[in-house]
Structure 1
Amino acid sequence: MQKYCLFLDLHEDRELIEEYKLLHQDVWPEIIASIKNAGITNLDIYNVGNRLCMFIEADADFSFEKKGKMDAENEKVQEWESLMWKFQKALPQAKEGEKWLLADKIFELK
């Protein structure tokens, strides 16, 4: 199993943040299917203020490159992503076209 932690910001607008949260209470079934089909076995998103943190657990065959290719070819995923950009803004460290940024693990308690 692989584990990942990613970050993204939302626009600093309380109403938009609440709408974003509501949309994630009823994520489209096609989006759930695309996540699972990519090899992701668990995905959690946490929120504080306008910052989001996403934890992913995935099988050994998962890769962000493969997921990106699958997403690019999925019309419903592209529709969802376009909708999400209404709420999201890239972190200052993001390169052109990047959304979620992968965090470096610096500590693990075992």
Structure 2
Amino acid sequence: MQRMGLVLGIKPEHIAEYKRLHADVWPSVLAKIADCNIRNYSIFLREPENLMFAYFEYHGSDFAADSARMAADPETQRWWAVNMPLQAPLDTRKEGEWWAGMEEVFHVD
């Protein structure tokens, strides 16, 4: 199992809409997340900085392949098309990232 932490900005005028969408995530999107071996997925919001922190656990053996499979899914693409305009990716993210990856520096069970 691999723990993942990601960070992303959100446009303040879209916070209410983002919360509304995520209070009722499309079942097909949730199914694809599970199908791609992602478990224990949470998104947290920090205001007034308007930063979101995502945490999930990856239980597969090839994260790149599962990520590509998720990205190829038409319903996931439609979900992203609705949500991405609400978001504000960090200027410091790596090339190819939308959500900026984070280094895990501490963990205890």
**Length-normalised TM-score, structure 2:** 0.87
Tell me if structure 1 keeps the 8 A contact 2:29–2:76: yes
Aligned-partner Cα distance in 2 for 1:96–1:102 = 11
Instruction: Write the mapping of 1:25-40 to structure 2, written as runs, cut at 5 A.
Output: 25-40=23-38
Tell me which residue corresponds to 1:74: 73
The count of aligned residue pairs is: 107
1:95 deviation in Å?
3.9
Aligned-partner Cα distance in 2 for 1:62–1:56 = 15
1:102 deviation in Å?
1.2
Aligned residues: CA RMSD: 1.6
1:88 deviation in Å?
0.6
Instruction: Write the mapping of 1:45-84 to structure 2, written as runs, cut at 5 A.
Output: 45-49=43-47, 50-63=50-63, 65-84=64-83
* Aligned-partner residue type, residue 83 of structure 1: V
Q: CA separation of 1:94/1:85 partners in 2, compared to 1, >3 Å: closer, same or farther? A: same
1:109 deviation in Å?
4.2
Tell me which residue corresponds to 2:8: 8
1:72 deviation in Å?
2.9
Secondary structure (helix, strand or coil) at the match of 1:86 reads helix
